Amino acid sequence: MDSDDDYIGQDAAPRSTGNDAQARAFSLDKLPEEFVAFLAKNEIDPAIYTVKDLPRYVRLNPDPHNTITPQELEKELGTKVEPVPGLEAFCKLSRHVKLRNTQASLLKRHRLHQYGRLFKADGTTFRVMRPSAIDTIRARNMAGKKNNATMQFSQNKEPEKRSLSENSSERLGDLAEVKASGGSGQEGQEKFQWESSAKRQKSTVEAMADQDAQTNTTTLNEAEVNYKQEKLVPFYAPKMLRNDPQLQGEGYKYDKVIVDAECTHDGSIAHILKYETWGWDSFHKNFMAQDRLDSLCDIQRGLLLNGFRLTKKGGLVVYSTCSLSRAQNEDIVAWFLAKMRGRAVLEPLPNYALGIPTADCKKPCRSVIASALGLQSAPTSEAGNSHDSEKGEWCGTSEQEAELEQLQKRVMSLCLRYDPITSNTSGFFLARIRNIA
Ligand SMILES: C[S@@+](CC[C@H](N)C(=O)[O-])C[C@H]1O[C@@H](n2cnc3c(N)ncnc32)[C@H](O)[C@@H]1O
């Protein structure tokens, strides 16, 4: 479900502006010229915005001791609540129903309070360093051994005990200094502080992927965390977090990561309708400004790459956007898979009944895969004819050419698009990637 749909357990407050517009017929004539041009360039049919009366989707708390049944919710809200076939605990109801004061929305606060940890940070670089590693660094720093050549991150009997090279020891010194200056006096605080001291470089994403490709690992040495591009002030973790099993072992690695990426929001009827009310100028400024479009795919690649780095072996990353532009979806996924081949695989999404595989609605994203794999564009056969990189041939080793075919096929068949008309949702894109490194 996209960001305008509700997860009872997180954000059940209705957003009235877009929802109110939902029941009315939407006039395509009102779309601004630049946006129409953007849609045409990205092969998005404006007819998707003519959908009417989309339902609101909610997810009930799956904990059997702390949930509400669809029947109870229906009774409480006084409106029809229907289970969504194939999606356990999901229900649909009218978009006009106010959920804010329901018993169900009270559950969300409970859940968030119990399990939630929120961090405000740049998702392209964000990492939660294992607290015990921070403790070790702090102990070492306090003992004045800043230039130790080796150090074990093995307090929790991790499978991989690591020694730091001299080079990484210098980096460790950096971390200790950053921590010492930025974090002093904050020990024991219940709030986490995670500050960035440098802005993202545009070339960073490529550099990070290339480095992973060279070292053939997505497991960062703890001492390398964030030295590539920025220095972070680590937080002082409260006791609860230090003992959290999730943060032991592989440290900052997670079983599942959702990369719900920043995007142009063009696939989402709920967002588009809001701008019909708020004014298209602000839509243009927020989403269509050229400098934003130029950097957007770079941010998306960075978010996916970092999300993947945060998963453990066997873990899952879901990449989603509420755009239907290929550049922000399949091309990002294809680039990522080509860069991470051998370490990441695209998997089928369960319950894809409402989604449309890319193959059914888009041209193949051949050029982005070919260039990520290092293939060269084949010369055109007829002089003067321009080479169509999406259909044309690419030259490489037979292994590379086979990889191109295979990756393209997977991306086209396993990525799913949910447009408002066919899916009866607000509109989004999904890809499910497993870490097999
Ligand atoms: C599609 S929305 C995610 C919505 C979220 N899943 C939710 O349900 O509220 C994308 C969000 O990413 C944020 N964002 C943009 N660039 C970011 C970055 N570099 N790091 C972290 N968040 C970023 C935007 O401000 C926006 O709130």
Task: Return d(Cα 411, Cα 431) in angstroms, integer.
Answer: 9
Residues in the chain: 437
Any atom of ligand 1 within 6 Å of the Cβ of 403? no
Residue nearest to atom 25 of ligand 1 (CA): 262
Query: Which residues are annotated as catalytic?
Result: 322
- Give the tens place of pLDDT for each residue, 44-64: 989 888 888 889 888 887 777
- What's the token pair of residue 112? 């968030």
CB atoms within 10 A of CB 52: 11
Any atom of ligand 1 within 6 Å of the Cβ of 251? no
Any atom of ligand 1 within 6 Å of the Cβ of 286? no
Task: Return d(Cα 73, Cα 90) in angstroms, integer.
Answer: 12
pLDDT at 400 (0 to 100): 85
Residue nearest to atom 2 of ligand 1 (CA): 262
Q: Which ipTM did the prediction report? A: 0.98
16-111+257-435: CATH, from 2.160.20, 3.40.390, 3.40.50, 1.10.3470: 3.40.50
Residue nearest to atom 15 of ligand 1 (CA): 262
Q: How confident is the model at residue 24 (pLDDT cuts 50, 70, 90)?
A: low
Any atom of ligand 1 within 6 Å of the Cβ of 122? yes
- What's the token pair of residue 137? 């660094």
- What's the token pair of residue 95? 């978009």
Range(s) within the chain of domains with CATH label 3.40.50: 16-111+257-435
Any atom of ligand 1 within 6 Å of the Cβ of 124? yes
CA of 376 to the centre of ligand 1 (A): 35
**Computed from CA positions of residues 176, 180, 181, 183, in that sequence, does the dihedral angle turn out positive or negative?**
positive
Q: Do residues 175 and 130 make contact, with C-beta atoms less than 8 angstroms apart?
A: no
CA of 416 to the centre of ligand 1 (A): 21
pLDDT at 122 (0 to 100): 86
pLDDT at 392 (0 to 100): 60
pLDDT higher than 50, residue 246: no
Q: Look-up: residue for tokens 């997505």?
A: 218
Q: Do residues 303 and 296 make contact, with C-beta atoms less than 8 angstroms apart?
A: no
At 225, the amino acid letter reads V
Q: How confident is the model at residue 85 (pLDDT cuts 50, 70, 90)?
A: confident
Pocket-testing residue among 260, 264, 304, ligand 1, by greatest number of atoms within 8 A of Cβ: 260
CA of 172 to the centre of ligand 1 (A): 30
pLDDT at 16 (0 to 100): 35
What value does the mean pLDDT of the chain take?
68
CA of 406 to the centre of ligand 1 (A): 32
CA of 70 to the centre of ligand 1 (A): 30
263 Cα nearest atom in ligand 1: 1
Task: Return d(Cα 424, Cα 420) in angstroms, integer.
Answer: 5
- What's the token pair of residue 296? 């957007």
Residue nearest to atom 9 of ligand 1 (CA): 3
Residue nearest to atom 11 of ligand 1 (CA): 262
Residue nearest to atom 5 of ligand 1 (CA): 3
320 Cα nearest atom in ligand 1: 1
CA of 122 to the centre of ligand 1 (A): 9
pTM across the whole model: 0.70
Q: Mean of the pLDDT values across residues 9-28? A: 45
For β-strands 82-83 and 195-196, DSSP reports them as unpaired
Binding residue numbers: 260
Any atom of ligand 1 within 6 Å of the Cβ of 260? yes
Residue 254 β-bridge partners: 311
Pocket-testing residue among 262, 265, 298, 429, ligand 1, by greatest number of atoms within 8 A of Cβ: 262
Q: Mean of the pLDDT values across residues 151-174? A: 29
Task: Return d(Cα 345, Cα 144) in angstroms, integer.
Answer: 45
CA of 260 to the centre of ligand 1 (A): 7
Binding residue numbers for S-adenosyl-L-methionine: 260
Any atom of ligand 1 within 6 Å of the Cβ of 298? no
pLDDT higher than 60, residue 365: yes
Any atom of ligand 1 within 6 Å of the Cβ of 259? no
pLDDT at 89 (0 to 100): 83
